Amino acid sequence: MSKFSAHGVRLITLLAFATLVTNCGVDELSLRGLRSNKKSGEAVALKPSTGSGTSQPASKATAAFSDIAIMDQGDVNFTTILTQTLKTSNRSLFIDMALECGLLTKTTVKSKGGKKDTSTASAAVMVRVLVDGNVAAPGEVTYCQRTQELSATFGGILQSCTDADGDGTILASECEFADEELSLLLSTMNAGSFNFLTDNLTSGVHTIEVQAKIFSSTTAEAGSSEARGFIGKGSVLTTSERLAR
Ligand SMILES: [Ca+2]
């Protein structure tokens, strides 16, 4: 009995020790958890103060985004697609304009009797930046452009033949032919960006306007052609810097 009791006491002691260790472990973990929570909480609290600096006129950098789905056309003169303002005492502004730029060109040619037929379609999207109404360097930039030309010389599709002169033989000249036709359509969309620069600014609030232009031209003989340019999402990032000289 005494042996059993001794084992029992040892077992209880062992269990108590194990509980103590477990409790210590839990406390330690909880503390670590609290510490890490506190740290991440502090980091989150700091973010708004370090992450600010966009969209406000007093900042040195400003950004704007836009979804310009309206511009899907044949021809549009320079039209403002994004506007932002920036207050700066620096003389130079760097304007990084990124844009989704799409083109659609379609050409159809048709002919018969060995006649050559040609159709062309051209489309382009150009961008320029105005700072206080003045064009920023390097001026007008082509973001996407394509010229497509399609030519074909066809014999024609045989429709019917008759012995028109009644000489018992049918010649090719006594047959009717319909036009053979060929079409090609290309539709593409790409994103690209370009850096614009303006210098010699006076201190104060400046207005930045991004303008886009869509140009198209088509030619066709017997066939037809179609050309369109389109603009998707756009973003502009303007930073004010002292330019190294
Ligand atoms: Ca004949």
Q: Domain of 89: which CATH number?
A: 2.60.120
Q: pLDDT tens digit string along 39-64?
A: 332 222 222 223 333 444 444 666 66
Domain count, the chain: 2
Q: Residue 228 corresponds to which tokens in the numbers above?
A: 């369109």
Residue 127 is part of which domain span?
A: 61-109+119-147+182-241
Pair (44, 71) in one structural domain:
no
Q: How far is the CA of 222 from the centre of ligand 1 (A)?
A: 30
HSE (side-chain half, CA atoms, 13 Å) at 186:
16
Q: pLDDT tens digit string along 166-187?
A: 999 999 889 999 999 999 999 9
Q: Is residue 66 part of a domain?
A: yes
Pair (141, 231) in one structural domain:
yes
pLDDT band at 37 (very low <50, low <70, confident <90, very high): very low
Q: How far is the CA of 176 from the centre of ligand 1 (A)?
A: 13
Average pLDDT of the chain, as a whole number: 76
Closest CA to 210 of 107, 110, 98: 98
Last residue in a domain, options 51, 70, 85: 51
**What is the pTM for the complete model shown?**
0.68
Instruction: State which H helix or E strand residue 41 sits in.
Output: helix 2-51
Alpha carbons 100 and 48: distance in angstroms, whole number: 30
Pair (139, 228) in one structural domain:
yes
Q: How far is the CA of 155 from the centre of ligand 1 (A)?
A: 20
Q: How far is the CA of 167 from the centre of ligand 1 (A)?
A: 5
Pair (4, 123) in one structural domain:
no
Q: Is residue 155 part of a domain?
A: no
Q: How far is the CA of 166 from the centre of ligand 1 (A)?
A: 5
Q: How far is the CA of 171 from the centre of ligand 1 (A)?
A: 6
